[in-house]
């Protein structure tokens, strides 16, 4: 019986030999090393090589293979980034060489074949289907001049652009290090294949290979939890369906991006656990989600696929329907302006369950945005937010519909009172993100909903200035110091501007301030709140008090706080 797991240290001359025939399975993620990782690898190799002691060996890390003992076929579970990058480096060395030296380097890129040994001519490393032809034609067949002439924008994917960029980087580094010194470059190549080692961990069992992959620390681009979760899940899918489910997984990762996909998994964990994460995502996802799944297939089809689709809709405000779509996407855009994503699990679960019912989605998002705005403006901490959203997720475990809706998304009477107290308070003293959200949301309530806002160029300014000098118009309009202080930072005395103005203008008299400070280049403001102020003749305490009640009434009506 063959051993379950074997591991041995091999020089690259053996790693890239007829003993190994590497194949990257389709479920692996694309080649992702950029010039950052490739540059670090070359620097480490060259710095080590430049030392005086030429007997030391350099350890490149480990690779994990599904491989029968004595058979060259090697399915790469972990290590494709290093194997691919080292192949590009060997190709760059081959490109610079000629004659017998070039032939010697070429043997590490491709098996030349031997009829007597029954060895066919083929590349040492076979990439995933999408990049296989490209990698062979330009890298393994050493057509680097042609590769570098290709327009990066017209390459098929990021993987191919990384290959091109790293090939260019290695050629530049080799030129800088060795110039036209063929002997020196050859000596460096000898160091690479003779004194640089990889540990190859092999097992004929796929499950065993995935288990090793999950616990080994790899050199290079850090694994995300989703990479290991993928190995756990796809490895358990029936072999006949594995390619299909892998393609589905990969498409989702492409649509969301790697970091976005990791965010999806964190939100799925919250949907299942309904509490704050206290351990690593990988550990909690395995315990809270994977262990509860009926099968690997159902985990992908019934959990990951629908929740990722819902995430994309919510995150990018891309709800599609013949009714209410514009309003729904407007609410999603406002939710995405909030400085946390704790609302997303609730939105994802709801959209996954009832995304086809536009009326119910509209009902729910009106209330979810109000709840999220309430906790944002009232400065709820993460623990309080998660506890509140957990109530909604728990309620959604039971059947619900537009006729029997999820009422936990509604604000309670106590929450409405708390919300209104904050709205009446010193708004300007809130953190910038809370203050800006409130004022822009208020401005949006006063338009037809068509306005768009760029918070990156927003500033919130006082009408009654913070500094009132004696003898000015402001001191006559607001003679009571206590009254000034009580209204200075209130909602009614604040206006949004689309850029920061001359600070000296802040203390101008009201009429001059309007013209010099509150209007844009065309004499108008981008905001309804500011335009209203432009039409006021004098900024007196009575005007501000009346305006305060009017604005609060707009908020109470729009957010249904009465």
Q: What is the pLDDT of residues 203-236, one digit of tens each?
A: 876 666 665 665 554 443 455 778 778 888 988 8
Question: CA-to-CA distance for 9 and 201, rounded, in angstroms?
Answer: 9
Q: Taking a C-beta distance cutoff of 8 angstroms, is the pair 64, 209 a contact?
A: yes
Q: Strand 58-66 to strand 196-203: parallel, antiparallel, or no bridges (unpaired)?
A: parallel
Is the pLDDT at 452 greater than 90, yes or no? Answer: no
Smallest CA-to-CA distance from 232 within 308, 290, 304 is with 290
Is the pLDDT at 295 greater than 70, yes or no? Answer: yes
Residue recorded with tokens 């500011």: 530
**300 CB neighbour count, 10 Å cutoff:** 23
**218 CB neighbour count, 10 Å cutoff:** 17
Mean pLDDT of the region 455-463: 79
Reported confidence tier of residue 455, pLDDT bands at 50, 70, 90: low
Question: CA-to-CA distance for 74 and 202, rounded, in angstroms?
Answer: 8
pLDDT score recorded for residue 527: 85
Partners of residue 462 on adjacent β-strands: 494
Is the pLDDT at 405 greater than 50, yes or no? Answer: yes
Residue 537, C-beta contacts closer than 8 angstroms, at least 6 positions apart = none
pLDDT score recorded for residue 222: 52
Q: Taking a C-beta distance cutoff of 8 angstroms, is the pair 475, 534 a contact?
A: no
Is the pLDDT at 504 greater than 60, yes or no? Answer: no
pLDDT score recorded for residue 221: 43
Mean pLDDT of the region 259-276: 94
Mean pLDDT of the region 185-189: 93
Is the pLDDT at 505 greater than 70, yes or no? Answer: no
Is the pLDDT at 502 greater than 60, yes or no? Answer: no
pLDDT score recorded for residue 449: 58
Is the pLDDT at 450 greater than 60, yes or no? Answer: no
Mean pLDDT of the region 159-180: 94
Q: Average pLDDT over the chain, rounded to whole? A: 88
Is the pLDDT at 522 greater than 70, yes or no? Answer: no
Q: What is the pTM of this model?
A: 0.66
Q: Among 297-306, 462-471, 485-494, name the one with the lowest average pLDDT.
A: 462-471
Reported confidence tier of residue 127, pLDDT bands at 50, 70, 90: very high
Question: CA-to-CA distance for 519 and 497, rounded, in angstroms?
Answer: 8
Mean pLDDT of the region 377-398: 95
Q: Which carries the bigger pLDDT value, residue 86 or residue 27?
A: 86
pLDDT in tens, 524-553: 567 888 888 888 889 999 999 999 999 999
* Tokens (6 digits) for 217: 């620390």
Reported confidence tier of residue 114, pLDDT bands at 50, 70, 90: confident
Q: Which carries the bigger pLDDT value, residue 139 or residue 118?
A: 139
Q: Which carries the bigger pLDDT value, residue 365 or residue 280?
A: 365
Question: CA-to-CA distance for 445 and 324, rounded, in angstroms?
Answer: 17
pLDDT score recorded for residue 218: 41
pLDDT in tens, 333-357: 999 999 899 999 999 999 999 999 9
> Could you tell me if residue 179 is left (phi over 0), alpha (psi between -120 and 50 degrees) or otherwise beta?
left
Percent of the chain with pLDDT over 90: 59
pLDDT score recorded for residue 96: 93
* Tokens (6 digits) for 550: 């009017």
**Burial tier of 337 (Cβ tally within 10 Å: 0-12, 13-18, 19+):** middle
Question: CA-to-CA distance for 492 and 485, rounded, in angstroms?
Answer: 13
Q: Strand 110-111 to strand 73-78: parallel, antiparallel, or no bridges (unpaired)?
A: unpaired
Q: Among 129-143, 261-275, 446-460, name the one with the lowest average pLDDT.
A: 446-460
Q: Among 43-47, 209-213, 464-468, name the one with the lowest average pLDDT.
A: 209-213
């Amino acid at each position: 019986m063959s051993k379950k797991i074997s591991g041995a240290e091999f020089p690259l001359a053996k790693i890239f030999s007829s003993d190994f025939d590497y194949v990257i399975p389709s479920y692996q993620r694309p080649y992702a090393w950029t010039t950052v990782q490739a540059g670090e690898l070359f620097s480490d190799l060259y710095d080590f090589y430049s030392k005086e002691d030429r007997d030391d060996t350099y350890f490149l890390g480990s690779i994990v293979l599904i491989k029968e003992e004595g058979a060259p076929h090697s399915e790469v579970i972990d290590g494709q980034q290093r194997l691919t990058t080292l192949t590009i480096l060997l190709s760059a060395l081959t490109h610079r060489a000629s004659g017998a030296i070039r032939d010697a380097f070429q043997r590490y890129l491709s098996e030349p074949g031997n009829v007597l040994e029954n060895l066919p001519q083929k590349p040492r490393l076979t990439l995933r289907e999408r990049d296989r032809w490209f990698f062979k034609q330009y890298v393994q067949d050493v057509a680097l001049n042609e590769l570098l002439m290709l327009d990066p924008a017209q390459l098929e994917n990021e993987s191919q652009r990384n290959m091109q960029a790293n090939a260019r980087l290695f050629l530049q580094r080799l030129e800088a290090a060795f110039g036209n010194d063929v002997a020196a470059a050859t000596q460096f190549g000898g160091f690479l294949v003779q004194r640089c080692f990889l540990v190859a961990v092999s097992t004929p069992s796929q499950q065993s290979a995935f288990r090793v992959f999950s616990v080994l620390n790899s050199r290079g681009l850090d694994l995300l939890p989703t990479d290991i979760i993928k190995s756990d899940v796809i490895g358990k899918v029936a072999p006949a369906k594995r390619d299909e489910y892998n393609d589905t997984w990969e498409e989702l990762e492409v649509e969301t991006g790697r970091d976005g996909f990791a965010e999806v998994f964190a939100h799925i964990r919250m949907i299942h656990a309904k509490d704050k994460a206290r351990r690593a995502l990988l550990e909690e996802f395995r315990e809270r989600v994977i262990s509860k799944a009926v099968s690997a297939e159902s985990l992908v089809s019934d959990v990951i696929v629908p929740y990722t689709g819902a995430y994309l809709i919510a995150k990018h405000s891309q709800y599609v329907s013949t009714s209410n779509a514009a309003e729904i996407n407007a609410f999603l855009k406002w939710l995405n302006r909030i400085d946390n994503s704790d609302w997303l699990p609730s939105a994802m679960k709801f959209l996954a369950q009832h995304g086809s019912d536009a009326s119910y989605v509209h009902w729910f998002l009106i209330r979810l945005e109000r709840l999220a705005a309430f906790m944002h403006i009232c400065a709820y901490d993460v623990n309080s937010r998660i506890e509140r959203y957990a109530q909604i997720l728990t309620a959604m475990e039971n059947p619900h519909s537009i006729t029997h809706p999820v009422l936990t998304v509604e604000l309670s009477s106590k929450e409405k009172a708390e919300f209104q107290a904050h709205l009446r308070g010193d708004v300007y003293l809130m953190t910038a993100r809370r203050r800006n959200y409130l004022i822009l949301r208020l401005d949006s309530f006063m338009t037809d909903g068509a306005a768009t806002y760029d918070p990156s160029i927003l500033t919130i300014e006082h009408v009654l200035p913070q500094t009132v000098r004696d003898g000015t118009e402001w001191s006559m309009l607001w003679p009571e110091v206590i009254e000034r202080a009580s209204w200075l930072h209130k909602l009614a005395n604040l206006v949004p501007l689309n850029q920061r103005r001359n600070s000296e203008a802040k203390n101008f008299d009201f009429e001059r301030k309007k013209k010099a400070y509150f209007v844009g280049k065309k004499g108008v403001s981008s905001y309804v709140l500011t335009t209203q102020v432009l039409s006021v003749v004098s900024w007196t305490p009575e005007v501000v008090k009346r305006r305060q009640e009017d604005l609060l009434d707009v908020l109470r009506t729009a957010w249904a706080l009465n």
